[in-house]
Chains A and B, each alone.
Chain A
């Protein structure tokens, strides 16, 4: 059983977490005016890096949404930071 670090609660069981997506995936600017290719890429396509990755996760019980850095081959976690504005400073 792997433990993941929630920035708010501390380490918790992996079953309490939900993967939300790759980090640094930006919603296309301009709404409906953005080209279809940009929306398609944003909605469906993944970078699929093997090794060290940055991802957005949610700790379901407390609702914390955070950025986790880990290695998707060894499963070693190297960083965890909240996305809340007050913790960004």
Chain B
């Protein structure tokens, strides 16, 4: 059990030369059986385990991770959190996530470094401004903060941008979402892991799930390299590998697996204290506390399970950045990386029971899973504890494709997901 973090504990440890810090989660061997097993030790899986133990009192919970905690998309995103969505179903989901993020450092007693610095989606034409007005109105009706910005207001929050009216993507204004911002991605994974471990959850790393234990058509556990682990209920939160694992359980998912890349510049002095997304190029950028400009854009258009990006998209993302911030052309690129994202045709996630009883899904987050971690975990915990949907997750059930009840956020909010 790790100690409670406070200014006092930090001061005391400082005087002791920081020799008293202990590891904050155990490395247990898997037990033969659990009440619930969650596949995937990223943010969503760890959050689900935390809420399952904390809110639902489920005693025996395990998280199985094939690599290390947060080593997949949780550690590969651009750390942006936001709730600027169009449809009421999406707002209920993503605003739950943002509200949980707002109280998370206190809840977990772990600083996730949430910085609600605001995010502005920049438009480049009168037509795009009308779409921005539509989005801002929808957000306000759904109870989320949104403000339509003039070019002057964009200049006030992002003065380093290119405001030349003759540029390819001139600034006509945008939508301002003040509660959006960034959070420390590793901190989110580690905070949930620490919290879950303290509540008795077994977090088992380097333990890949190879198959499912299916008896009488019902999922009764998983088969891993470390042996068979029985479970009353199994949660699948493995992002792109959810589809690969679904095939083992005998069903398909409506996901397309693509590479999404991101990159950082060398660190510089503070120049950008918001998140900027330009609608014309899809490039978005923020500046980290270390001073690096963190940016990304659209997905690679070639279906891929390789965790690396191809040069054409790399080039177009950088071109988009330099159109918006010509001054950044002086910067050296320090790192570039990629994750593989499972994109659903309507750009909304898959949360709910799978076709195999006993197995529940939390995947299909596509390019926007990080911002949704607290809600994805919270809703998967509800599913695993109760065996049925919470009203917020019901619209995101796999059955929406047969019913034609898609929640098309790619068309609705018009922003990259």
Contact = CB atoms under 8 A, between A and B. Distances in A.
Interface stretch (B160-168, B223-231, B298-306, B317-325): B298-306
Given A36-B402, A50-B305, A72-B304, A44 B254 contact: yes
Contacts of A44: 254, 345, 401
B306 A75 contact: yes
A47 B306 contact: no
B117 interface: no
A45 B253 contact: yes
A48 B244 contact: yes
B310 A14 contact: yes
A87 interface: no
Nearest to B244: A50
Interface residues of A, number: 26
A89 interface: no
Contacts of B311: 1
User: Which residue, of A40, A48, A73, has the highest number of chain B Cβ atoms within 10 A?
Assistant: A48
A55 B303 contact: yes
B312 A46 contact: no
Interface string B310-336: 111000000000000000000000000
Interface in B255-291: 255-257
Interface in A1-33: 1-2, 13-15, 18-19
Contacts of A83: none
A41 B254 CA distance: 8
A48 B306 contact: no
Contacts of A18: 301
Interface string A38-61: 001101111111110101000000
Interface in B228-266: 241, 243-244, 246-247, 252-257
Contacts of A62: none
A88 interface: no
B255 A48 contact: yes
Interface residues on chain B, size class? 20 to 34
A40 B401 contact: yes
A53 B253 CA distance: 17
Nearest to A73: B305
Contact of A72 (B255, B306, B312, B345): B306
A46 B243 contact: yes
A19 B302 contact: yes
Contact of A37 (B243, B244, B306, B402): B402
B253 A48 contact: yes
Nearest to B399: A40
Contacts of A1: 310-312
Contacts of B256: 46, 48
B334 to A, nearest CB: 22
A48 B247 contact: yes
A76 to B, nearest CB: 11
A74 B301 CA distance: 16
B317 to A, nearest CB: 14
Contacts of A46: 243, 252-256
Given A2-B310, A14-B312, A15-B312, A48 B302 contact: no
Given A1-B311, A37-B402, A47 B301 contact: no
Contacts of A55: 303
9 contacts: A1-B311, A18-B301, A44-B401, A46-B253, A46-B254, A47-B247, A48-B247, A53-B303, A72-B305
Q: Give the 8 A-B CB pairs with smallest separation, nearest first.
A: A48-B243, A44-B254, A45-B252, A40-B402, A44-B401, A50-B305, A73-B305, A15-B312
